[in-house]
Amino acid sequence: MNYWLMKSEPDAFSITDLEQRPGQSEHWDGVRNYQARNMMRDDMKIGDQVFFYHSNCDVPGIVGIAEVVKESYPDFTAFDPDDKHFDPKSRPDKPTWFMVDVRFVRKLERTISLQELKQRPELADLALVRRGNRLSIMPVSKAHWDMILTLE
DNA sequence: GCCAACGTTGGC
DNA sequence: GCCAACGTTGGC
For A110-124, how does the pLDDT look when each residue is reduced to its tens digit (9 = 90+)? 999 999 999 999 999
pLDDT digits (tens, 9 = 90+) for A72-88: 999 999 998 888 888 88
A143-CA/B8-C1' distance, Å: 34
Q: Is the CB of A60 under 7 A from strand C?
A: yes
Cβ proximity of A135 and A36 under 8 Å: yes
Q: Which domains are present in chain A? A: 3-150 (3.10.590.10)
Q: Is the pLDDT of residue A49 over 90?
A: yes
Helix (H) or strand (E) holding A147: helix A142-150
Let me know if A19 is exposed, middle or buried by CB neighbors in 10 A (0-12, 13-18, 19+). Answer: middle
Cα–chain center distance at A36: 9
Cα(A70)–Cα(A38) distance, rounded to whole angstroms?
15
Minimum-distance nucleotide, CA of A53 to C1': C10
A86-CA/C8-C1' distance, Å: 15
pLDDT digits (tens, 9 = 90+) for A14-31: 999 999 999 999 999 999
Task: Measure Cα distances from A41 to A18, A33, A150 in Å.
Answer: 21, 12, 30
| Mean pLDDT of the residues in chain A | 95
pTM (2 decimals)? 0.94
**Confidence class for position A106, pLDDT limits 50, 70, 90:** very high
